[in-house]
């Protein structure tokens, strides 16, 4: 349930509402907008069902929420949230771009990639140190050595670090080097990991599961938020369909859907979303036009010898050209890059 306070409600009205909720063991989650405050009610379903708040002073109306996710919903928080990632706002007027290789392979590879990422005007260096590969015989990542390289090279170029976490036991380790935790598609419903990330103070980028519905995706985010960490960024990265020409089917309509249902930022990954470098630029165009808050793009100095995802990685020159064009599209959308 949400309680919409009237514009003229006083602090005392609000305090009374909160006290009443707390008395019956419910939690109040306040969202203070410019005009009015919205109180999200969290707790036991039956207690909420029996709650009568409409008669209280300062209460304009109460709205029953049918969806299970609450903290991440726009009903709870009507205004867009801007997530601060180590000083970079995500979800504001300026689009955020994260780019870099699929896997961290060596310091030289990472430096070449980071140079391209920086020259193109992106703010984040991406790179996997723990790789969730389909085959156990494929390159699994450099683990902590890879994390160290990421931090070192990102600092050399003035970039932030986003990298994947695959195991809740690695939260402290990854957090030492990363500015933003990435939860990969394969772990979108790893509830132990999500709960553990709910306890950290760093933002989390939650990629959409391989065949997750939008509701499942939002509920996965709710696990993180319910633990106390509401700094969440969604990332649409394509879903499994019957199509085989592309690696995944990039669901750009999900951006519009999540924007409608949630206040949190959404970015798009056209690299994993298509699996083909030729399609990264057209889909990136679409992502900006549909209202995404940013992009995550795989860039490799030598895609032909990449240890993972070479087929979908852009070379530095191409990445630069994509960024230049995106700037123009962003301007049409009233945004900057």
Count of positions on this chain that bind ligand PEP (CB under 6 A): 9
Among 70, 207, 259, 263, binds ligand PEP (CB under 6 A): 207
CB-CB contact of 110 with 97 (8 Å): no
Asked whether position 185 contacts ligand PEP by CB under 6 A, the answer is: yes
**According to CB under 6 A, which one of 91, 100, 120, 128 is a site residue for ligand PEP?**
128
- Among residues 73, 68, 157, which one has the least CA distance to residue 112? 157
CB of 74 to ligand PEP, least distance (A): 24
Q: Compute the least distance from the CB of residue 184 to ligand PEP, in Å.
A: 3
Indicate which single residue of 95, 102, 116, 193 sits in contact with Mn ion (rule: CB under 5 A): 102
- If one asks whether residue 294 binds ligand PEP (CB under 6 A), the answer comes out as no
| Shorter beta-carbon distance to ligand PEP: residue 168 or 186 | 186
Residue 141 in the binding site for ligand PEP (CB under 6 A):
no
Torsion of CA 75, 77, 78, 79, to 10 degrees: -160
Q: Measured in whole angstroms, how far is the alpha carbon of residue 84 from the centre of its chain?
A: 12
Contact of 71 with 29, CB cutoff 8 Å: yes
Give 184 or 198: the residue with its C-beta nearer to ligand PEP: 184
Task: Give the residue at shortest CB distance from ligand PEP.
Answer: 184
The site partner of 207 among Mn ion, ligand PEP, none (C-beta below 5 to 8 Å per kind) is ligand PEP
Report which residue's Cβ sits closest to Mn ion: 102
Binds ligand PEP (CB under 6 A): choice among 58, 120, 184, 270: 184
Residue 308 C-alpha from the chain's centroid: 23
CA neighbours within 13 Å on the CB side: how many for 215?
A: 3
Q: Any bridge partners for residue 5, and if so which? A: 59
Residues with Cβ within 8 Å of 112's Cβ and at least 6 positions away in sequence, in order, are 301, 316
CB of 60 to ligand PEP, least distance (A): 42
Q: Which does 184 bind (CB under 5 to 8 A by kind): ligand PEP, Mn ion, none?
A: ligand PEP
By CB under 6 A, name the one of 102, 116, 174, 279 that touches ligand PEP.
102
Q: Are 38 and 3 in contact (CB under 8 A)?
A: yes
- Residue choice 105, 164, 222, 309 for contact with Mn ion (CB under 5 A): 309
Residue identified by tokens 């709650």 is: 51
Query: What is d(CA 302, CA 102) in angstroms, rounded to the nearest whole number?
Result: 12
Q: How far is CA 75 from CA 56, 68, 113, 184, 263, in A?
A: 20, 12, 41, 27, 9
Residue numbers at the binding site for ligand PEP (CB under 6 A) = 102, 128, 132, 184-186, 207, 237, 272
Question: Site residues (CB under 5 A) for Mn ion?
Answer: 102, 309
């Amino acid at each position: 349930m949400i309680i919409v306070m009237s514009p003229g409600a006083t602090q005392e009205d609000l305090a009374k509402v909160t006290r009443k909720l707390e008395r019956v063991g419910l939690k109040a989650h306040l969202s203070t907008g410019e005009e009015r405050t919205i109180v999200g009610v969290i707790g036991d379903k039956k207690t909420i069902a029996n709650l009568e708040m409409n008669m209280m002073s300062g209460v304009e109306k109460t709205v029953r929420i049918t969806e299970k996710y609450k903290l991440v919903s726009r009903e709870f928080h009507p205004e867009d949230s801007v997530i601060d990632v180590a000083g970079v706002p995500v979800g504001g007027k300026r689009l955020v771009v994260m780019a870099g290789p699929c896997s961290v392979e060596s310091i030289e590879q990472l430096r070449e990639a980071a140079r391209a990422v920086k020259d193109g005007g992106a703010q984040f260096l991406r790179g996997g140190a723990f790789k969730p590969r389909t085959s156990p015989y494929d390159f699994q990542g450099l683990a902590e050595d890879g994390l160290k390289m990421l931090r070192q090279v990102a600092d050399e170029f003035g970039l932030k670090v986003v990298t994947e976490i695959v195991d809740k036991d690695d939260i402290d380790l990854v957090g030492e080097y990363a500015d933003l935790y990435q939860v990969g598609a394969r772990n979108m419903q790893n509830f132990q990991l999500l709960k553990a990330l709910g306890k950290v103070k760093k933002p989390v980028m939650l990629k959409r599961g391989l065949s997750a519905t939008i509701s499942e995706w939002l509920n996965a985010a709710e696990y993180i938020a319910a633990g106390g960490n509401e700094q969440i960024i969604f990332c649409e990265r394509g879903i499994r369909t019957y199509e085989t020409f592309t690696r995944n089917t990039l669901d750009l309509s999900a951006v519009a859907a999540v924007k409608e249902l949630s206040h949190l930022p959404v970015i798009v990954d056209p690299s994993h979303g298509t699996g083909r470098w030729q399609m990264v630029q057209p889909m990136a165009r679409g992502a900006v036009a549909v209202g995404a808050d940013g992009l995550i793009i795989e860039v490799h100095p030598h895609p032909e010898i990449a240890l993972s995802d070479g087929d979908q990685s852009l070379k530095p020159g191409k990445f630069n050209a994509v960024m230049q064009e995106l700037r123009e599209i962003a301007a049409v959308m009233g945004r900057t890059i």
